[in-house]
Amino acid sequence: MIRQYELVERVKAYDPSADEDLLNRAYVFSMKAHGSQTRASGDPYFLHPLEVAGILTQMKLDAGTIATALLHDTVEDTVATLEDIERIFGKEIARLVDGVTKLSRLELNSEQAKQAENFRKLVIAMSEDIRVLLVKLADRLHNMRTLYHLKKPEKRRRIARETIEIYSPLAERIGMHKIKDELDDLAFAELNPDARDSILAQLARLRSEGENRVQTIITELRELLASEGLPDVSVSGREKSAYSIWRKLQRKNVSFEQLSDIMAFRITVGSVGECYQALGVVHAHYPVVPGRFKDYISTPKPNGYRSLHTGVIGPGRNRIEVQIRTQDMHEIAELGVAAHWAYKQDHQPRPNGGEYRWLRELLDILEHAQKPEEFLEHTKLELFQDQVFCFTPKGDLIALPRGATPVDFAYAVHSQVGDHCVGAKINGRMLPLRTQLQNGDQVDIVTSKAQTPVPGWERFVVTGKARARIRKFLRTQQRAQYMELGRGMLMRQFKSEGYEFTEKALEAATKIFQQPTVDDLMAGVGSGLHSVREVFHAVFPGHKAQAAPAVRELEESAPKPKAKARKESALPIRGLIPGMAVHYARCCHPLPGDRIVGIVTTGKGVTIHTIDCETLESFHESPERWIDVSWETGPDSPEEHVGRISVVIANEQGSLGTLFTVIGKNQGNVIHQKITNRSTDYFELLIDIDVKDAKHLTNIMAALRATPAIHSVERARGR
C-alpha cells in the first residue's frame, strides 16, 4: 500500500507547486469514508482508490486529478455526499468526482440501458474536463488488474466486454496506447483465454527457435544507423501483444506464420529531420514490404500521435515493423493527452483542439439518439474501428472509420453538409455515395438545399454520428407522415359516417388511447397502432356501426378493373414518402394508373396493393384494415416508381443488348434484373424498371413486344 507521505512525495517530485494539503485531506477523507469496506479479493477497499491515484502519478498529473482519484468512489460507495465533497474540497474537485461517479441508483429497464446511461453521463463530464476520463481509465485499469477476484463468470465477461468495446477505444482516442494495450490484453484474457494462450504459445515457440533474434536485430539496426551518421539513437524491440496479433489474424484472414509484423522495433532519434534520415537508411538497406509505409509525422493521427511506420524484410530475412520517432513523440504515443500536461497552466482544460473532434461528435450523437441503448450503439460504431484519413479540397484532414463513405465524410465535416449531400467527387471523379473511402482520398461533397437524408443511407454509413443524424431525421419525417396519413383516414371515416371532422372532437379520445396530444393520436392511427373505427367510436360512443363501405365496393369492383373507382372517399397518397408512412407492396408493384387499395399494418402505416393482388385474399377476414386510396399525381408526387416485367427472350448474341436499348429509348431505367430460367433457346428474366406510371410501363412493354428477339412480355407479379 502506498503511504500518505509517499503519495505526496511522488506528486511533488514532478510538480513542486502541487497542493500538498489537498492531497493529505483527500487521502485521510477517503480512508475514513471507506472504513472497513473490503473488495472481492478481501483487501481493504481503500486500496483501490489509492492504486488508481498511483497509476495517475505515473502520468504526472496534477494534484486535483490525484485527489479526485482518491475520492472517486466515496459518493457511490459510502455515506459521503457530493455536498460533503464540495464543502471540504471545493467545486472543482466535486465536479470531477461527480463526473466519474456512476449512476448506480438509477432505475433502468436493462443492464445495457444502465451501461448506456452511465456512459452518457461520462461523455458529458469529460467534455467539460478531460481529466474525468483520465481518472476513469485509471479506475478501469485497476479493476481489470483485479478482475479475476470476481466469482461470477458472467459479471467478469460483461466488464471485460465493456472494457474492450468502450474504454480501450477511448484510451486510444486520447493517445494513451500503453493503457490501451494493457486493457486490451486483460480483457482478451477473460473473453477468449484459449485464443490468447494459443498465440502466447506460438510466440514462445518463435522465441525458442531464435532466442537472441530480437537482440540481434537491435544490434544490427543500431550499427547500421551509426555507420550512416546517426550514432546517438535508441533502438528497442518488442513482440506485439497477443490481442493485437489476434485482431490482425481476424482482420487480414491470414495464419500466424503469414503475419509480417509480430515483432516491432522502435528507433528514437533527436529531431524530425533525423526521423526521415533514419527512414532513408532503413529503406536503402532492407527490402520494403509494399503498403506498409505510413507517415504520421506529416499527417498526425487525430489523437496527436506522430511517428513513421514501415515494414521491411530486415536482418536474418525477418519481416519486421519499424517505428521511427523523436523522444517527444514517444512520450505522446505512450501517455497521449497526459503527456501534454495541460493542467499546469490551466486548471480547467477544455477539449476544444483538433484531437478532441471525436468527443464533439460523441456529444452530437448524444443529441440525436432517441434512447440510451441507441446512443451506446452509435458510440461503439464511432470508437471501435480502424481509421482511414481523407482530405477536404482545402487540405483539411478528416479521420474516419475504415469502410466509411462520402456520406460519413460529409457528416464529419458538418451536420448540415451531411443532410444536404447529393453527390461526391473522390480524387476529382464523381462516384456513388456508397463508395468506400481509402487512405489519402480527397473528397469534395456536392450539396443541394433541396436534399434531405435518404432512408437508404442508413444501410451503408458506418459512423455513429451519421447514423444518429439520419435516424433522427427519419423519425421526425415519419411522425409527420403518420400524422398526415392518420388525419386523412379519420377525416374520411368521419365523412362516411355523416360527421364533420374536427381536432377538438378527438381530444376526449386522447385519454382513452393514452396519447398526450391529438397529434400523437393521429400519428398512432397513421402507423396502425390504433384502428380508425376504434377512435371514431371513442369519439361517438352511441353511434351505430356500419359495414365497411370501402371494402364492399372494392370487393364488388375487383373483378371489373375498368370500372371507375369512387374518388370522393378515397385517401390520396400524394406526397407521402415511400418507406415511411406508405409502403408499396413488392408482391404486385403498384404504379400510378393502377387501381389500388391500402392495408393498414400495425406500426408500419399503410401498404399499397393493386386491387387484383392475390395477397389481398389473406385480409378478407380483417375489413377494418382496408382503406380506399387513390393516386393523386402532381408536381409534388414522386417522379419514378418501380414496375416489374417478366420477359422471355431468344438466347442469341446481342438479344440482351437489344432488350435494354429498347427500354432506355422509351425513357425507362433498369434498376435490377434477374435471370429466372435459361435454356438452349430462351432466357426468362424478371426486370425492375423505374417508370412514371402504369401507362409508361405499358408503352415500354408494347415496344418490347415489337422487337423480334423478344418472344413475350408480361407485367410480373410476386417477389
| C-alpha closest to that of 628 among 495, 447, 446, 538 | 495
- State whether residue 479 is helix, strand or coil: helix
Q: Record the cell numbers describing residue 442, joined without a space.
A: 480527397
Question: Would you list the domain boundaries of the chain?
Answer: 4-176, 194-335, 473-539, 573-631, 641-715
194-335 under CATH 3.30.460.10, yes or no: yes
Cβ contact 712:648 at 8 Å: yes
Q: Could you give the C-alpha distances from 506 to 309, 428, 521, in angstroms and in order? A: 68, 56, 8
Report pLDDT for 381: 47
Taking the CA atoms of 453, 459, 461 and 463 in sequence, report the sign of the dihedral they define: positive
Query: For residues 579 and 571, what is the distance between their CA atoms, to the nearest angstrom?
Result: 18
**In 594-607, which positions are buried (b, 16+ CB within 10 angstroms) versus exposed (e)?**
bbbbbbbeeeebbb
| C-alpha closest to that of 464 among 549, 524, 541, 377 | 377
Query: For residues 606 and 34, what is the distance between their CA atoms, to the nearest angstrom?
Result: 60
**H or E segment and range at residue 676:** strand 669-678
Largest CA distance in the chain: 102
Query: For residues 131 and 99, what is the distance between their CA atoms, to the nearest angstrom?
Result: 10
Report pLDDT for 359: 53
Query: For residues 122 and 133, what is the distance between their CA atoms, to the nearest angstrom?
Result: 8
4-176 under CATH 1.10.3210.10, yes or no: yes
Report pLDDT for 423: 92
Summarised one tens digit per residue, pLDDT across range 602-641 is 767 788 888 888 888 888 777 777 877 777 665 445 567 8
Q: Could you give the C-alpha distances from 147 to 154, 178, 628, in angstroms and in order? A: 12, 19, 63
Q: Please give the CATH number for the structural domain made up of 641-715.
A: 3.30.70.260
Query: For residues 610 and 554, what is the distance between their CA atoms, to the nearest angstrom?
Result: 11
DSSP state string for 100-155: HS--TT---SSHHHHHHHHHHHHHHHHHH-THHHHHHHHHHHHHHHTGGG-S-HHH
- Low-confidence residues of the chain: pLDDT under 70: 102-128, 209-212, 251-261, 302-303, 336-387, 542-581, 603, 632-639, 718-719
Report pLDDT for 118: 60
Q: What is the DSSP pairing of strand 582-584 with strand 605-610?
A: parallel
Report pLDDT for 172: 76
* pTM flag (> 0.85): no
Query: For residues 527 and 66, what is the distance between their CA atoms, to the nearest angstrom?
Result: 54
Please give the positions annotated as active site: 76-77
Q: Angle 327-335/177-191 helices, nearest 10 degrees?
A: 40
Summarised one tens digit per residue, pLDDT across range 466-524 is 888 888 887 777 778 788 778 877 887 787 777 878 787 788 788 788 888 888 888 88
